[in-house]
């Protein structure tokens, strides 16, 4: 073997990582690899015994893009009491890790309790460095600082000395404080050499964008129904029981108004067991059919049905 094995640069190493190759090619064997190099449209993997295998670069790039922009389930980033991201400042939000919905009783985890204590007090942390240090504390893994519309720093007060300075264009590109996003940002030029036009993203940005889309569709539906909301659903989520992966999402619906007594509500598809992975699609379907979803605790008359504490 006289092939010189070129080192992949840092951007290429992120794209053509072993896990991305496996995502693209399920039968990829990642043992006994001596090196990798790029050759035209292929990634060439060289094994210790000298065997070389070719993998189509495009397929791995697609796997990389899909993986970085995947959207976790609805409950993955809700804070205590089904709280969505909290607006902080500088156009940034705090996105909660979903500690309260990990498993039944996980609301008693120290990480979940930390969120319950601090969820309403985040404004007390005044600067970005302090906030990042707070969120990064490994004991609590509170969540992420995220700006889906870009970070906007307050304009400095004008002084006469600054008067000939041209105001800077605000940077509207999304931001997230997670390691994956920062890693992509750091080697963006190298990534863009492989994938022209690529912009950094992460599962947190994918999630917050989908969450905001859900909220805006829901508000639009409420606004288009002046007066009483007739078609409504109520949903409740029980996190996975011990040893299980799937939680249970239960839905009631009515066409008699959201305040209708409990006997006017029906269980949606009684025989189907829905989990956290069905939530986004079910919410989309409700809104498409003009049913306004409400979290069960908002409708006290339904308490006898949703009486379980998770």
What residue ranges bind Zn ion (CB under 5 A)? 176, 178, 181, 202, 204
59: which 2 tokens? 């397929």
**CA dist 239 to 100, 190, 246, Å?**
9, 41, 7
Q: Per-residue DSSP letters for 223-235?
A: HTS-S---SEEEE
> Closer to Zn ion at the Cβ: 84 or 240?
84
CB of 68 to Zn ion, least distance (A): 9
Place of tokens 């992120």: 14
> Closer to Zn ion at the Cβ: 202 or 282?
202
For residues 291 and 263, is the Cβ–Cβ distance under 8 A?
no
> Closer to Zn ion at the Cβ: 8 or 178?
178
Single out the residue of 70, 95, 69, 73 nearest to residue 279, CA to CA: 73
CB of 276 to Zn ion, least distance (A): 19
For residues 233 and 286, is the Cβ–Cβ distance under 8 A?
yes
> Closer to Zn ion at the Cβ: 185 or 217?
185
CB of 104 to Zn ion, least distance (A): 27
CB of 202 to Zn ion, least distance (A): 3
CB of 180 to Zn ion, least distance (A): 6
62: which 2 tokens? 């697609």
> Closer to Zn ion at the Cβ: 97 or 204?
204
300: which 2 tokens? 């006290």
């Amino acid at each position: 073997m006289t092939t010189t094995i070129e080192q992949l640069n840092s951007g290429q190493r992120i794209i053509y990582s072993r896990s991305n190759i496996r995502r693209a090619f399920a039968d990829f064997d990642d043992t006994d690899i001596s090196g990798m190099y790029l050759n035209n449209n292929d990634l060439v993997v060289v094994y210790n015994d000298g065997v070389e295998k070719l993998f189509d670069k495009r397929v791995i790039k697609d796997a990389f893009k899909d993986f970085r922009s995947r959207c976790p389930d609805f409950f993955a980033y809700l804070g205590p009491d089904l709280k969505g991201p909290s607006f902080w400042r500088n156009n940034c939000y705090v996105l909660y890790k979903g500690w309260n919905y990990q498993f039944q009783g996980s609301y008693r985890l120290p990480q979940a309790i930390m969120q319950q204590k601090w969820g309403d007090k985040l404004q007390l942390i005044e600067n970005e460095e302090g906030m990042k240090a707070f969120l990064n504390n490994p004991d609590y893994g509170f969540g992420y600082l995220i700006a889906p519309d870009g970070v906007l720093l307050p304009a400095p007060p004008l002084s006469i000395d600054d008067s000939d300075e041209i105001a800077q264009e605000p940077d509207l590109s999304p931001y997230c404080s997670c390691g994956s996003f920062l890693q992509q940002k750091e080697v963006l030029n190298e990534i863009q050499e492989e994938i022209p036009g690529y912009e950094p993203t992460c599962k947190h940005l994918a999630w917050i964008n989908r969450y905001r889309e859900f909220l805006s569709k829901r508000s639009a539906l409420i606004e288009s129904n002046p007066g009483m909301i007739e078609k409504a659903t109520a949903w409740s989520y029980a996190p996975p029981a011990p040893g299980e992966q799937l939680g249970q999402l239960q839905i009631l619906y009515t066409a008699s108004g959201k305040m209708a007594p409990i006997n006017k509500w029906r269980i949606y598809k009684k025989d189907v067991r829905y989990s956290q992975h069905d939530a986004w699609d079910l919410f989309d379907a409700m809104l498409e059919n003009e049913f306004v979803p409400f979290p069960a605790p908002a409708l006290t008359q339904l308490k006898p049905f949703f009486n379980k504490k998770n």
